[in-house]
Amino acid sequence: MQGGLDWELIALVAGGASAALIGWDAAVRKGPRSDTLKGVLEIAWPVLFIALMGMLLKFTDFSAVLLLAGVATGVIWLADAKAFAPKRAEGAPEPIVVDMARAFFPVIVVVFLIRSFWVEPFKIPSGSMKPTLLVGDFILVNKYTYGIRLPVVNRKVLEVGEVKRGDVVVFRYPVDPSVDYIKRVVGVPGDRVAYKGKMLSVNGTPVPVQASGYYTDAELNFVRLPAFTEKLGEKPHAMMIVPPEPVVNLSQVRQFPHRENCEYNDDGFTCTVPPGHYFMMGDNRDQSADSRYWGFVPDDHIKGRAFLVWMNFGDLKRIGNGIE
């Protein structure tokens, strides 16, 4: 067993204990509540609410959980205001669940709107985007750069801008849409992307690359790896390669939609991006699970463009770094 706290188990136990206490109070308790019981119930209700949100995250994404939480708290607050509060005796205390709903509802709505239409935070979990993004970076993603999308279903309702080559994009992983990935766009619809001999080309034209020294990887015992500056879009960005790694590990290539658009061999691969899809790769070019392995990203999986590192507890100097 690995060290560290099992937060899922803690949430389950805390939520179960809170539900049992609330159920006992509603069905078994006799007589008035003591001040101590009132205080405990004021903690139990929020704990149960948060535990339920955490359990729902096992089955859907955070936006859907926020929507459900907003609807639930709004309905409780409105139902009490319209049906129960007018009948309540003057001076009678408001039920704890109503007080909690009234407190949580506006906060949930504000967070839901900000995350859905303005910016959404993400944490970088792997090194596939080194040296641009490091493990532990907390980033912000612009949600309206590529158009206004309906929350939860992610359907675009208003065009604002287009996904461009070179953009760093957060998207739903095509293999498991409940998981978010971040990569760089190297191919847009109609592009023919090739990666052979550690060289990337788009539509037959090699992508400009210039050596920029070495990147010292602290996670790999401070190994020095060749670093480069690559220009896919309007601005150059950092990129690195790992010489011993193959261009593509053929045994890891999946069967994916439009697989017939790709050709693989020991030298590398060539893929033609189908309409309404994008080809993604990591800046850590040879240590990235990306489109070469699991295929193209549909437009309706795009969540937004990454633009800022707002926190890294392991390296505070990274705070405020723009993402190019």
Comparing 141 with 150, the larger pLDDT belongs to: 141
Domain co-membership, 94 together with 237: no
Residue 4 in this model has a pLDDT that exceeds 60: no
Domain co-membership, 96 together with 143: no
pLDDT of residue 318: 94
Domain co-membership, 239 together with 303: yes
Is residue 2 situated within a structural domain?
Answer: no
Q: Out of 128, 130, 288, 303, which one is annotated catalytic?
A: 128
**pLDDT mean over 159-178:** 93
Confidence band, pLDDT 50/70/90 cuts, at residue 25: confident
Domain co-membership, 141 together with 249: yes
Residue 279 main-chain phi, psi, to 5 deg: -110, 125
CATH of the domain at 270: 2.10.109.10
pLDDT of residue 83: 92
Is residue 256 situated within a structural domain?
Answer: yes
Is residue 106 situated within a structural domain?
Answer: yes
Report the predicted TM-score, pTM, of the whole model to 2 decimal places.
0.80
Whether the ω angle into residue 298 lies within 30 degrees of 0, i.e. cis, is: no
**pLDDT mean over 75-88:** 92
pLDDT of residue 220: 66
Question: ∠ at Cα 263 (262, 269), nearest 5°?
Answer: 95
Q: Out of 130, 143, 183, 303, which one is annotated catalytic?
A: 183
- SS3 for 59? coil
**pLDDT mean over 187-200:** 96
Domain co-membership, 131 together with 157: yes
Confidence band, pLDDT 50/70/90 cuts, at residue 165: very high
Domain co-membership, 97 together with 131: no
Domain co-membership, 144 together with 256: yes
Single residue among 90, 117, 144 that ends a domain in this structure: 117
Please give the residue range of the domain that contains residue 11.
7-117
Whether residue 189 contacts residue 277, with contact meaning beta carbons closer than 8 Å, is answered with yes
Single residue among 117, 133, 163 that ends a domain in this structure: 117
Q: Kindly write down the DSSP assignment for every residue of 77-117, as one continuous string.
A: HHHIIIIIGGGSPTTPPPPHHHHHHHHHHHHHHHHHHHHHH
The total domain count for the chain is: 2
Single residue among 77, 102, 117 that ends a domain in this structure: 117
Residue 224 in this model has a pLDDT that exceeds 50: yes
Catalytic site includes residue 183? yes
Catalytic site includes residue 231? no
Domain co-membership, 231 together with 306: yes
Confidence band, pLDDT 50/70/90 cuts, at residue 111: very high
pLDDT of residue 295: 97
